[in-house]
């Protein structure tokens, strides 16, 4: 089985036959500034000897990576970048009972939309690509084959689990268009030198000792209404969430762990200071402090709310706001910076409302 461990090292585990805990771990690739391989998957070529390792590239190339093993996964060739486009997303490969391979993935390098199905006769070169579903965020696919059909499961923006059925007979009758050229053309995936650089991540929570500060203004909504501001990954995964719940209580969520703080008066106005401190081997640290409206409060010794239960291990680069209220209640004027002092000069982040 392939895996990525808690230190982001991609490896292969072989064993589990002699005993439940009898496994050998062999490195597949190193996660560093040059490579950044992620979410590996493997399958066997028709010669029944060669194992292909396909890997997502978190280094920003927007293409899948590939490596080979000829000794049952004990050693692997140097990783090379393929020319198969990818939205930096999870994918899945299945060898059908009819001998050819199908790969379901987000092959649009700009976003996780649509989900596509690629076909390869030899497991190396994919010569056909078909649209499955799109017009929205879809990802994390998986395939099983049953009764002449592919059953393709996928996530709808991590809110739903859905399954679609694809007939192998119908799939084999489909033909590729002579041209898929768009008019007008889409902009290039890679930025040109004249364009502003891509927004870099504020913090990598998989690294030891990194700190991020954030500030926002808050108007507490009425009872029964919720409001949140989230620090999210580039793909929109909300890993750190500061919120007001339906009982007007201050909450702080770090990945899947939530702590609850004091109850606030509906309509009251506050400034919010957040400090996020990352760790590699232990849970991260999330602190929240309330202050007077319009001011960035000083960093206290005892914070209003702290959460040291969750461990996110994610790169954060976006803010997502939510409010049940129709008026101005909720979080606004969010800023982020590496230090508390730098918040005073930080620009307000363009609010992304969900």
> What is the chain's pLDDT, residue by residue, as a tens digit (354 residues)?
888 887 778 889 999 999 999 999 888 876 655 568 888 999 999 999 999 999 999 888 899 999 999 999 989 998 899 999 999 999 999 999 999 999 999 999 989 999 999 999 999 999 999 999 998 999 999 999 999 999 999 999 888 999 999 999 999 999 887 776 766 776 776 544 444 434 567 888 878 999 999 999 999 999 999 999 999 887 778 999 999 999 999 999 998 899 999 999 999 999 999 999 999 889 999 999 999 988 888 899 899 999 999 988 888 988 999 999 877 899 999 999 999 999 988 888 865 554
Question: Per CATH, the architecture of 203-353 is what?
Answer: Sandwich (2.60)
By C-alpha distance, which of 5, 3, 1, 6 is closest to 208?
6
**Pairing between β-strand 23-29 and β-strand 51-57 as defined by DSSP bridges:** unpaired
**Structure tokens, 337:** 């910076």
Question: Per CATH, the architecture of 2-173 is what?
Answer: 6 Propeller (2.120)
Are 273 and 288 in contact, with CB atoms under 8 Å apart? yes
Bridge partner list, 290: 272
Torsion of CA 35, 40, 45, 49, to 10 degrees: 90
Bridge partner list, 79: none
Contacts within 8 Å (CB) and 24+ apart, 166-175: 166/117, 166/132, 168/96, 168/98, 171/102, 171/117, 171/119, 171/130, 172/98, 174/128, 174/130
Give the domain ranges of the chain: 2-173, 203-353
Distance CA 272, CA 215 (A): 5
**Structure tokens, 140:** 């994390």
Distance CA 105, CA 92 (A): 7
């Amino acid at each position: 089985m392939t895996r990525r461990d808690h230190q982001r090292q991609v490896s292969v585990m072989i064993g589990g036959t002699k005993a439940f805990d009898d496994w050998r771990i062999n490195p597949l690739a190193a996660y560093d500034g040059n490579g950044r391989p992620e979410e590996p998957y493997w399958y066997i070529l028709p010669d029944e000897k060669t194992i292909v390792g396909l890997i997502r590239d978190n280094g920003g190339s927007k293409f899948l990576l590939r490596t080979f093993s000829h000794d049952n996964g004990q050693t692997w060739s140097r990783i090379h970048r393929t020319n198969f486009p990818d939205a930096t997303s999870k994918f899945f490969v299945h060898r059908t009972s009819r001998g050819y391979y199908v790969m379901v993935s987000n092959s649009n390098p700009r976003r996780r939309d649509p989900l596509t199905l690629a076909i390869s006769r030899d497991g190396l070169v994919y010569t056909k690509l078909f649209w499955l579903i799109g017009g929205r965020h879809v990802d994390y696919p998986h395939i099983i084959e049953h009764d002449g059909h592919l059953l393709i499961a996928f996530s709808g923006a991590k809110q739903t689990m859905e399954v679609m059925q694809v007939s192998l007979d119908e799939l084999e009758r489909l033909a590729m268009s002579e041209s898929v050229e768009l008019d007008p053309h889409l902009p290039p995936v890679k930025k040109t030198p004249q364009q502003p650089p891509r927004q870099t991540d504020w913090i990598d929570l998989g690294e030891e000792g990194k700190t991020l500060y954030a500030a926002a203004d808050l108007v507490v909504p009425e009872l029964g209404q919720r409001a949140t501001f989230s620090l999210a990954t580039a793909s929109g995964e909300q890993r750190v969430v500061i919120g007001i719940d339906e009982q007007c209580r201050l909450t702080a969520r770090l990945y899947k762990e939530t702590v609850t703080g004091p109850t606030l008066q509906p309509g009251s106005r506050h400034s919010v200071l957040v400090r996020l401190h990352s760790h590699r081997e232990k849970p991260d640290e999330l602190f929240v402090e309330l202050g007077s409206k319009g001011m960035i409060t000083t960093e206290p010794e005892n914070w209003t709310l702290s959460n040291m239960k969750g461990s996110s291990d994610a790169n954060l680069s976006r803010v997502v706001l939510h409010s049940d209220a129709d008026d101005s209640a909720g979080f606004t004027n969010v800023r982020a910076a590496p230090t508390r002092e730098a918040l005073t000069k930080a620009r307000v982040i363009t609010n992304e409302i969900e």
